[in-house]
Amino acid sequence: MAPYVTRREALGGAAAALVLASCGGGDPPPATGPRPGSGIALLGSLLALERASVAAYGACLEVLTGEARTQMEAIRKEEQAHADALEATIGHLGGTPPPGRPRAEYERTFPRLRTPEDALRFAEDLEERHVRAYLEALTEFPALELRLQAAGICTDEANHLGTVRVLQGLPAAQGPFVTGAL
Amino acid sequence: MAGRSDVELLVDLFEQELRLETAYEAALRRDAIDRSLGETLLAHERSHISALERVLAGRGNPSVPVFSGELTKALRGRRSFAEYAIWLEDKTVRAYSDSVPRIRDPKLRQPLGSIMACGGAHVVALKDSVGDPLVD
Q: In this structure, is residue B135 part of a structural domain?
A: no
Put simply, the answer to whether B121 touches A165 (Cβ < 8 Å) is yes
Q: In this structure, is residue A74 part of a structural domain?
A: yes
Give the tens place of pLDDT for each residue, A48-74.
999 999 999 999 999 999 999 999 999
Q: In this structure, is residue B16 part of a structural domain?
A: yes
Q: Which residues of A touch B94 (CB under 8 A)?
A: 155
**Is the pLDDT score of A148 beyond 80?**
yes
Q: How far apart are the first and last CA of chain A?
A: 38
**Average of per-residue pLDDT across A90-103:** 91
Q: How far apart are CA A100 and CA B43, in angstroms?
A: 43
Q: What is the DSSP letter of A39?
A: S
**Average of per-residue pLDDT across B74-98:** 98
Q: In this structure, is residue A172 part of a structural domain?
A: no
pLDDT at B66: 78
C-beta separation of A145 from A104 below 8 A: no
The CA angle A61-A66-A67, to the nearest 5 degrees, is 95
Q: Is ipTM > 0.90 here?
A: yes
Q: In this structure, is residue A24 part of a structural domain?
A: yes
pLDDT at A33: 63
Give the tens place of pLDDT for each residue, A113-133.
999 999 999 999 999 999 999
Q: In this structure, is residue B52 part of a structural domain?
A: yes
Q: Which of A147, A165, A175 has the CB atom closest to B101's CB atom?
A: A147
- The boundaries of the domain holding residue B82 are 6-129
pLDDT at A5: 39
Q: Which of B51, B109, B125 has the CB atom closest to A138's CB atom?
A: B109
Determine the residue of chain A that is closest to B105 in CA distance: A139
Q: In this structure, is residue A14 part of a structural domain?
A: yes
Q: Which of A147, A155, A162 has the CB atom closest to B116's CB atom?
A: A155
B 22-51 residues with CB < 8 A to A: 40, 43-44, 47-48, 51
Give the tens place of pLDDT for each residue, B10-54.
999 999 999 999 999 999 999 999 999 999 999 999 999 999 999
Q: In this structure, is residue A142 part of a structural domain?
A: yes
Please state the pTM of the whole predicted model: 0.88
Q: In this structure, is residue A177 part of a structural domain?
A: no
**Is the pLDDT score of B78 beyond 50?**
yes
Q: Which of A136, A166, A178 has the CB atom closest to B117's CB atom?
A: A178
Q: How far apart are CA A53 and CA A64, in angstroms?
A: 16
% residues pLDDT > 90 (chain A) = 68
In chain B, the number of structural domains is: 1
Read off the CATH number of the domain in which A64 is found: 1.20.1260.10
Burial B64-85 (b: 16+ CB within 10 A, else e): ebeeeeebeebbeebeebbbbb
Q: What is the mean pLDDT of chain A?
A: 85
A58, with CB counted inside 10 A (0-12, 13-18, 19+), is: middle
DSSP string, B39-106: HHHHHHHHHHHHHHHHHHTT-S-PPPPP--HHHHHHTT-HHHHHHHHHHHHHHHHHHHHHHGGG-S-H
In chain A, the number of structural domains is: 1
Q: In this structure, is residue A65 part of a structural domain?
A: yes
**Average of per-residue pLDDT across B92-101:** 98
- The boundaries of the domain holding residue A65 are 8-167
Q: In this structure, is residue A173 part of a structural domain?
A: no
Q: Which residues of A touch B128 (CB under 8 A)?
A: 166, 172
Read off the CATH number of the domain in which B11 is found: 1.20.1260.10
Q: Which residues of B touch A180 (CB under 8 A)?
A: 110-111, 114
Put simply, the answer to whether A150 touches B107 (Cβ < 8 Å) is no
CB pairs under 8 A between A and B: 143
Q: In this structure, is residue B120 part of a structural domain?
A: yes
